[in-house]
Amino acid sequence: MIVLGIESSCDETAAALVQDGRIILSSVIASQVDVHCLYGGVVPEIASRMHIESLVPVVDEAIKKAGVCLSDIGGVAATQGPGLIGALLVGFSFAKAFAFARHLPFAGINHLEAHIYSLFLMDDPPEFPFIALVVSGGHTNIYHVTSPNHFELMGRTRDDAAGEAFDKVAKMLGLGYPGGPVIEKLSLIQNPDILFPRTLLEKDSFDFSFSGLKSAVARYIHDHDVSSDHEKARVAASFQNAVIDVLSQKLIHAALFKKCSRIGISGGVSANRTFVGILSKKAASHRIRTFTPPLELCGDNAAMVAARGYTLIQQGNLTSLEDDVYSRPKIN
């Protein structure tokens, strides 16, 4: 069965066609980064308006690239939440209308579950059970995944998400938006020789907190001259190293606690190859294997939405056309 997936939870307008939950026939993404970088972050109203402008052309392109007809589509899936309400409404409403007009089964998708499902679009996906980290600008959550529908939340951020901290530190350093890629690039040219704090919280806690690290970086920038490219790179590398230390320690701890030999990383920050490389090396010393989707599936995309939708539709777990979007996570 071919499922049309729609994603519009933040600042990417995306559509994809996925066959049998595994084979990506097409995946099209219209990014808004060039617009939002002018404001140092995503402006919700602008994001919503741009989704309205981009959605139909993106869906048309996805269908054309897949080389299928409308009659070949057997189901529709769209991100229902969490995310920006105005942005979600654009994609969710379009998908409901498409499903209604074509008499197709419809599934509203939890954005966090979809990110975990991006791991199943790999050529060599992780087997159950495994530890999953969803790490992005809006989320930093650890799950114990034991089946296609069971995601046990083990820990989450208590304040800033990791990706959000990257964006805020990049703004402090005058590096622009989004912060993750530029900080990783700068970090490659300097040693992380500034000792920033690692917040691990209570013993055996799988929660995260990055606000203290962010504040420490802000104090360092206030007290030192970081105007040169050399000093900016030192701060960037040291900040990134602190984030990677915390993420890696929590993930390996969670895997050992649950006796899992597999860790899957998804979400925008999983595109950070430095993080993936360090985690993989540390995990290997415990005989734990790491899994990360290809770069094009790390950020928000519709292929992961369609993959999750296929499972729900096959199980008959459909969404009413009267249902609405939601801004806060429902996964637990």
Q: Residue 189 belongs to a domain with what CATH number?
A: 3.30.420.40
In a domain, 133, yes or no: yes
In a domain, 332, yes or no: no
In a domain, 98, yes or no: yes
Put residue 248 in one of left, alpha, beta given phi > 0 → left and psi -120 to 50 → alpha: alpha
How would DSSP label each residue in 158-176?
SS--HHHHHHHHHHHTT--
Cross-strand partners of 28: 15
- What are the residue ranges in the chain where pLDDT is below 70? 330-332
Question: Is residue 291 within 8 Å of residue 261, measured between CB atoms?
Answer: no
State CA 97 to chain mean position distance. Answer: 26
Question: Same domain for 198 and 246?
Answer: yes
Report the pLDDT value the prediction gives residue 33, as an integer from 0 to 100. 86
Question: Same domain for 261 and 200?
Answer: yes
Report the pLDDT value the prediction gives residue 332, as an integer from 0 to 100. 45
Question: Same domain for 176 and 221?
Answer: yes
Question: Same domain for 168 and 249?
Answer: yes
pLDDT in tens, 271-300: 999 999 999 999 999 999 999 999 999 999
In a domain, 262, yes or no: yes
In a domain, 227, yes or no: yes
Question: Same domain for 92 and 208?
Answer: no
Question: Same domain for 7 and 108?
Answer: yes
Domain total of the chain? 2
Question: Same domain for 184 and 200?
Answer: yes
In a domain, 321, yes or no: no
Omega before 125 cis (within 30°)? no
Question: Same domain for 26 and 133?
Answer: no
Report the pLDDT value the prediction gives residue 39, as an integer from 0 to 100. 84
Report the pLDDT value the prediction gives residue 204, as an integer from 0 to 100. 87
Structure tokens at 105: 């089964």
Please give the order of strands across the beta sheet that includes 140-147: 150-156, 140-147, 130-135, 262-266, 289-291
Report the pLDDT value the prediction gives residue 330, as an integer from 0 to 100. 60
Question: Same domain for 147 and 172?
Answer: yes
Domain boundaries, position 301: 2-116+297-314
Q: Would you call 78 helix, strand, or coil by DSSP?
A: strand
Question: Same domain for 17 and 83?
Answer: yes
In a domain, 181, yes or no: yes
Report the pLDDT value the prediction gives residue 41, as an integer from 0 to 100. 85
Report the pLDDT value the prediction gives residue 210, as an integer from 0 to 100. 96
User: Whole-prediction pTM value?
Assistant: 0.95
Question: Same domain for 177 and 250?
Answer: yes
Question: Same domain for 285 and 162?
Answer: yes
In a domain, 324, yes or no: no
